[in-house]
Structure 1
Amino acid sequence: MEPFVVSARKYRPQTFKDVVGQQAITNTLLNAIENNHLAQALLFCGPRGVGKTTCARILAKKINEDSAQSQDEDFAFNIFELDAASNNSVDDIRNLTDQVRIPPQVGKYKVYIIDEVHMLSQSAFNAFLKTLEEPPKHAIFILATTEKHKIIPTILSRCQIFDFKRITVKDAAEYLKYIAENQEIEAEDDALHIIAQKADGAMRDALSIFDRVVSFSGKKLTRKAVTENLNVLDYDTYFTATDLILEHNIPALLVLFNDALSKGFDGHHFISGLASHFRDLMVCHHQSTIDLLEVGEEAKKLYLEQSKKTSSTLLLQGIEIANDCDLKYKSSKNQRLLVELALMKLASINFDGEKKNSNFLNYIAPASFYKNGGPFTSKRPSDALVTSKELPEIVDEKLDHTIENPVQEVESNIITKESPTELEEQQTTIVKPDLSQEETVSETKISIKAPQNRVSGLSLSSLKLKKEHSLNKKDTIIDESKLPRSVFTEEEMQKHWADFVHQIDKEGQKILASNLNTDIPKLRDATTIWIELPNSTMKKEIEREQYDLIEYLRLKLDNHFIKLKITINEATAKKFAFTPEEKYEKLREKNPAIDILRREFDLDL
């Protein structure tokens, strides 16, 4: 039995043309070799499994190739690989720098590949600086790392940096298809796309997953086998969930969620996948964004078909609800209920993105509408329900029924009876809004009886008294020309202002007195007194009590037309509120020894 070689090693690229998804970097390196512009220190950085070490090995082999030599020569004696994760001390770097001085026996260059270089210690980095800046002509250093931010800037400045990108789902799926054909495995496109998505941009991870799924399903790779083996929810589940949401079928939607939980998936996985499904439906709405859909051709047809049933508003609100549930999931104590509540909200959204309206609410019609030969007796029993949709029809029918005998003027009042529990019909007026002429109609209405000897505020007697009061009321006309308008000076006004402040201070209104003393009042014109305050709080306090002040000044100055003008100037606030730093500066001005005390005891403000 031959030993099994994993696909990640078996199909490791041997040339730059075989590298997947890094065409920009491979073309740059090839042109640098051809034009003799290759730097002596290179830094390959990027996510795991995207080809950093593979490109370093291909580059090390490529720069030593000669047309006279065989292409199969691997130049193993010229390539030195160092794992910085386990060789990260100063001694390891010193041994490396000692080997660099020796020229190669075969080929032109000695290539040193240092993998996971960010794991070197600080002292090892410092020991490596001089050699990296001025290496021998025959030495080339290739550093590889997944965490560029952990490398010190002095190392970065000495290297030519190549940033490797994540491999796209499309490129990974195409390479997996090539490997499947090479191994004579029949694989569905959707299955390969699911593997590529699960790999999250790492080709090595994609090949490892591919080997695992092939071991599970054999020579036929199906979408169902992949989803079962990788423990991912099939997109059929999300298609079904979306159909149930569009149908407002909450019970079936909750059963579907329960089935997903019974298969071992958690609610977080379900709701985040549903949000991604809504996103995929959203990108199908526009021809220019369909390329953002990273699925197989068969799945793309299903997405396009379902996207026609949904509106953008619905999907946006659905994504918002699902994303809100996703954010709250970890902190929730009842996570299942949280997801179920989100699903019920989703199923309560209409096609236009609005929540279900109130047409589903029922209104209880008064029983008296259907008693004693009322207008609706022939249509409904006494305890019937009237929906909001039917109310306009009932009102129109009632108006048509009563418009034949209009009443010009009817007064409404509450009639008191001995029995407080009986219901009695009474006539009131209602005006139909669409009538061209003013016509009043009578409507049957409920009146709940009040207890005996109770007088209503809407009784005829009260209305009569109110009318008599309005007739007897006489308007008082004030002649402004007879009001006092004596001229006064600013000094006189300030004197009486101070007297008023002193008076209220004695009476215990300390806050108001303090606010009035904040600024010296000024005379803006003949009758307007102006005061400037540092904040709106003081302004509100004075405005609340300004009437007593104005009346006092009008009396003392014999001028009925005095007004008060209050403005706010935030710049004056510094007079009344100091920060700790400002207080310290004031104290230091008075006594410089305070600064010596603070420095001596290392005190903070």
Structure 2
Amino acid sequence: MSYQALYRVWRPQRFDEIVGQRVITKTLKNALITDQISHAYLFSGPRGTGKTSTAKILAKAVNCQHLKDGEPCNECETCVAINQGALNDVIEIDAASNNGVEEIRNIRDKAKYAPTEAAYKVYIIDEVHMLSTGAFNALLKTLEEPPSHVIFILATTEPHKIPATILSRLQRFDFKRISATDIEEQLTKILESKQVQFDDRAVKIIAKSAEGGMRDALSILDQALSYDPEQLTYDSALQVTGSVARDELQRYFEAVLSGDVSSGLQVVEATLADGKDASQFIEDLVDYCQNLLLYQQNEALVTADELGLLGDNFQKIAQEVDRRKIYQFVEIMNEVQQQLRFTYHPDLYLDILTVRLADAEVQPQPAESVPPAGYQQLEEQVAQLQQQLQSLQQRPVTASVTPAKQTTPAKRAIPNSPKAPQPDMNGIFGILDAATKSALEQYRSNWGALLQLLSVTQRAVLHVARPVAASDTGVVIAFDYGFLYQKAGSDEQLMTALEQGLEQLLGQVPKVFFVPKEEWPTLRQEYLQQHPRGTQSETADQQSEQSEPTAEEPKNVRRAKELFGDELVNVEDD
């Protein structure tokens, strides 16, 4: 028999074999046990998280002749035929290549006929968001009133592209990114079953590089074993994933911290000579900075196993470097990483990055009190600002609004990383539609108590985040740093703990949406442009970060608030 890829060999055949989606599999098993099967399902989520595998297992379970505890037996004729892809009553369709009206009409016409071998005729439509508008309309009536012997299972990575009329007729299950720990356990199980010697560090690197996708992890592992069939080594994992060895990252970090540009450039040259990707190099540097910040917050946040991957001098660096300098490093790295997307000379930008990091200096913290000698200068600044404010008050209101709208596109924040999750704009706009100041104050007043309910690791991630908009049904949380927003957006355990904590404090489970702080003003502005300035939109705009100057405020007003605080500055319109 010809060789099969690992992700095909290790495709789950039972609900219990699905990795990292315990809530979904338990719900489906209970529905099967109690005979409460719906006529249509939607499985949505990132690639490689088990959507199609779960759909096939569900198709087996509803037709299994010996169903036990909600699990298919995989031994009866029906289960065997489905596993072999030979059962005509289970139809898999790729909507990417069959997205026209005629294909859907064909499905609708054939769905009327009873199944020939099984109890249910099951249609699995993958990448359903690729269907055309006409195709969705053709599918709508069948989904609304399907025959009793038909079940539709739709799978997609982009549920926001599916019409609301379709979504309202489906049971929706959102698959989460699989945690690196769960992926690591599954990879270890596979390697042990294949009796392959492996380095624990190599497994950790592959699990982390998969970014929450089990299929991606198995594909990387397959490639690594092809590179070295005898054993999985740390070096082979680095070669396959394109990651940079932590020793090299440590050398680079020590060089730029000490201002040694020459040594830093040597590390860059060696890294590119090994065929490593420039963007991945910066990604690994940001990850190293994240570990430094977590270690400074609480040493327990970085486990002993991870310390072994971070270099011998990691603890020394974490104790000596100022966290403000790490923040500055991350901002510079993010800026250069965005520039890499538009260049054919990544080596040039990495050299520039090295020089900028080596020259970076920590800005001194502002003094807590003003010395007596500075009072006179401060009073002069106050007088100048008062004159400027008086002149602004005499201008029409639209005079300060129009330039802000013209410059808004130029100030649009770019995501911190090409791989970072995008904010759910539909969900955020839904919160803003019903946002109230009282709801926001309720979340902020309970924010400290919520953090105490979380683990130390989760508390560290949310330490630099805060609610910026809220309604009776949900809340928007902004993160000061993009890399922590990215970490929170892919952390299923954090989201679960957050929802449980809010339920305990508020008596309900709200919808929670994350957004980077630098993108929040732009999102608010887009919301205001897309919605009439009625009562709701004004309310939503008022109870977001009121203390922060918006894009509509004149420069002088923003400067006044920066110097004295917005509670001392009063702007009146004529």
TM-score, normalised via structure 2 length: 0.57
The Cα offsets for residues 420-455 of structure 1, whole Å up to 9 and x where unpaired, read as: xxxxxxxxxxxxxxxxxxxxxxxxxxxxxxxxxxxx
Q: How does 1:118-137 map to 2 (within 5 A)?
A: 118-137=129-148
Give, in angstroms, the shift of residue 44 of structure 1.
0.8
> C-alpha distance in 1, partners of 2:315/2:105?
61
CA distance in 2, matches of 1:573, 1:106: 70
Q: Secondary structure at the match of 2:47?
A: coil
Asked if 1:270 corresponds to 2:286, the answer is no
Structure 1 residues 269 and 116: alpha-carbon distance in aligned structure 2, compared to 1, 3 A threshold: closer
2:252 counterpart residue number: 241
**Quick check: which has more Rg, 1 or 2?**
1
Corresponding position: 1:317 with 2:328: yes
Distance 1:208 1:72 in 2: 28
Residues 199 and 232 of structure 2 are in contact (CA less than 8 Å); yes or no, is this contact kept in structure 1?
yes
**Equivalence map 1:300-315=2 (5 Å):** 302=312, 303-304=314-315, 306-315=317-326
Deviation at 1:174, TM superposition (A): 1.3
Deviation track 1:542-575 (CA, whole Å, cap 9, x = no partner) reads xxxxxxxxxxxxxxxxxxxxxxxxx98568999x
Shift of 1:335: 5.8
The answer to whether the aligner puts 1:98 opposite 2:97 as a matched pair is: no
> What does residue 393 of structure 1 align with?
none
In 2, the alpha carbon distance for the partners of 1:568 and 1:46 equals: 51
Aligned-pair distance for 1:238?
Answer: 0.6
Name the CA distance, whole Å, in 1 between partners of 2:397 and 2:90.
75
Question: Structure 1 residues 109 and 238, CA, compared in 2 at 3 Å: closer, same or farther?
Answer: same
Once residues 103 and 57 of structure 2 are traced to their aligned partners in structure 1, the CA distance between those partners, rounded to angstroms, is 25
**Displacement after TM superposition at 1:342 (Å):** 3.4
Deviation per CA, 1:154-193, whole angstroms, max 9, x where unpaired?
1111111111111222211211111111101111122112
Other-structure match for 2:9: 10
What residue in structure 2 maps to residue 299 of structure 1?
309
Cα separation, 1, equivalents of 2:169 and 2:211 = 31
Once the two structures are superposed, the pairs formed by residues 225-236 of structure 1 within 5 Å of their partners are 225-236=236-247
CA distance in 1, matches of 2:325, 2:398: 52
SS of alignment partner, residue 112 of structure 1: strand
**Residue in structure 1 matching 2:194, options 183, 194, 209:** 183
Distance in 2 separating the partners of 1:307 and 1:572: 50
Does structure 2 conserve the Cα–Cα contact (< 8 Å) formed by 1:25 and 1:162? Answer: yes
Report matched runs for 1:372-451 at 5 Å. none
- The AA in structure 1 aligned to 2:75 is D
The SS at the match of 1:5 is: coil
2:198 pairs with 1:195: no
1:28, distance to aligned residue in structure 2 (A): 1.1
Task: Compute the displacement of 1:5 (Å).
Answer: 1.2
Q: Is the 8 A contact 1:193 1:295 kept in 2?
A: no
Q: How far apart are 1:300 and its partner, in Å?
A: 5.7
Alignment of 1:149 onto 2:149: no
For 1:209 and 1:68, how far apart are their aligned partners in 2? Answer: 35
1:273 partner letter: D
Q: Give the structure with the larger helix fraction.
A: 2
Label 1:304 to 1:12 Cα distance change in 2 as closer, same or farther (>3 A). farther
Q: Is 1:72–2:75 an aligned residue pair?
A: yes
Residues 517-561 of structure 1 deviation map (CA, whole Å, 9 limit, x = unaligned): xxxxxxxxxxxxxxxxxxx99x99xxxxxxxxxxxxxxxxxxxxx
Q: 2:290 maps to what in 1?
A: 279
TM-superposed deviation, 1:97: 2.1
Separation of aligned partners in 1, 2:96 and 2:317: 50
Alpha carbons 1:44, 1:142 under 8 Å: kept:
yes
> Is 1:56 matched up with 2:55?
yes
- How many angstroms does 1:140 deviate by? 1.0
Secondary structure in structure 2 of the residue aligned to 1:257: helix
| Alignment match, 2:18 | 19
For 1:492-571, list aligned pairs within 5 A.
Answer: none
Matched, 1:89 2:100: yes
Distance in 2 (alpha carbons) for counterparts of 1:334 and 1:109: 57
Indicate yes or no: 2:228 matched with 1:217: yes
Count of matched residue pairs: 364
| 1:40 and 2:50 are equivalent in the alignment | no
Map Cα deviations across residues 480-532 of structure 1 (whole Å, 9 max, x no partner).
xxxxxxxxxxxxxxxxxxxxxxxxxxxxxxxxxxxxxxxxxxxxxxxxxxxxx
Check whether the contact 2:250–2:310 (CA below 8 A) recurs between aligned residues: no
C-alpha distance 34-329 of structure 1, shift in aligned 2 (>3 A): same
**Aligned ranges for residues 340-351 of structure 1 at < 5 Å?**
340-348=351-359
SS at match of 2:296: coil
Does 1:113 find its partner at 2:154? no
C-alpha distance in structure 2 between counterparts of 1:285 and 1:572, whole Å: 47
| Structure with higher RCO (Cα < 8 A, 6+ apart) | 2
Query: For residues 129 and 284 of structure 1, do their structure 2 counterparts lie closer, same or farther at Cα, with a shift above 3 Å needed?
Result: same
- Report the CA distance shift for 1:77/1:340 in structure 2 as closer, same or farther (over 3 A): closer
Q: Match of 1:426?
A: none
In 1: Cα distance, 2:311 partner to 2:358 partner? 24
1:173 is matched with which residue?
184
Provide the rounded CA distance (Å) in 1 between the counterparts of 2:67 and 2:131. 39
Taking the aligned partners of 1:42 and 1:573, their CA distance within structure 2 comes to 49
Cα pair distance change 1:221/1:101, threshold 3 Å: same
Code of the aligned partner of 2:203: L
Deviates more, 1:52-61 or 1:294-303: 294-303
Distance 1:48 1:572 in 2: 49
> Measured at CA, do residues 95 and 322 of structure 1 come closer, stay the same or move farther in structure 2, by a change above 3 Å?
closer
**C-alpha distance in structure 2 between counterparts of 1:138 and 1:99, whole Å:** 12
In structure 1, give the amino acid aligned to 2:138. Answer: A
Aligned-partner SS, 1:86: coil
Q: Secondary structure at the match of 1:44?
A: strand
Distance 1:354-1:116 versus aligned 2 partners, 3 A rule: closer
Give the superposition deviation at 1:332: 7.2
Q: Deviations over 1:120-174 (max 9, x none)?
A: 2222221111111111112111111122122222111111111111122221121
- Specify the SS of the correspondent of 1:284: helix
Return the alpha-carbon distance in structure 1 between the equivalents of residues 283 and 98 of structure 2. Answer: 42
Partner of 2:143, secondary structure, is helix
> 8 Å contact 2:247–2:311 — kept in the other structure?
no
Aligned partner of 1:445 in structure 2 is none
- The offset of 1:25, in angstroms, is 0.9
Instruction: Point out the more displaced range, 258-267 or 9-18.
Output: 258-267
Counterpart residue number, 1:29: 28
1:287 Cα shift? 2.6
Report the Cα distance in structure 2 between the residues aligned to 1:83 and 1:39, rounded to whole angstroms. Answer: 22
For residues 396-434 of structure 1, the C-alpha deviation after alignment (integer angstroms, 9 at most, x for no partner) is xxxxxxxxxxxxxxxxxxxxxxxxxxxxxxxxxxxxxxx
Give ranges in structure 2 of 5+ residues lacking alignment: 365-386, 400-574
Distance in 2, matches of 1:208 and 1:278, equals 28
Q: CA deviation at 1:56?
A: 0.5
Residues of 2 paired with 1:16 and 1:572: CA distance?
61
Quote the Cα distance in structure 2 between the aligned partners of 1:39 and 1:133: 12
> What letter is aligned with 1:72?
E
Q: Partners in 1 of 2:166 and 2:398 — Cα distance? A: 54
Shift of 1:301: 7.5
Provide, for residues 45-86 of structure 1, a one-character-per-residue CA deviation record: whole Å limited to 9, x for no partner.
112111111000101111222448964121534322222222
Amino acid at match of 1:263: D
Gaps of 5+ in 1: 356-535, 541-566, 575-605
Match 2:171 to one of 160, 178, 184: 160
**1:211-264 residue CA offsets vs partner (Å, 9 max, x unmatched):** 111011122111111112333322221111122234433322222222223323
1:99 and 1:294, CA in 2 relative to 1: closer, same or farther beyond 3 A?
farther
Q: Contact conserved, 2:246 with 2:311, CA < 8 A, in 1?
A: no
Q: Kindly state the Cα deviation for residue 334 of structure 1 after the two structures are TM-superposed.
A: 7.5
Alignment partner of 2:63: what SS? coil
CA RMSD of aligned residues (A): 3.4
Q: What is the CA–CA distance in structure 1 between the aligned matches of 2:346 and 2:32, rounded to whole Å? A: 58
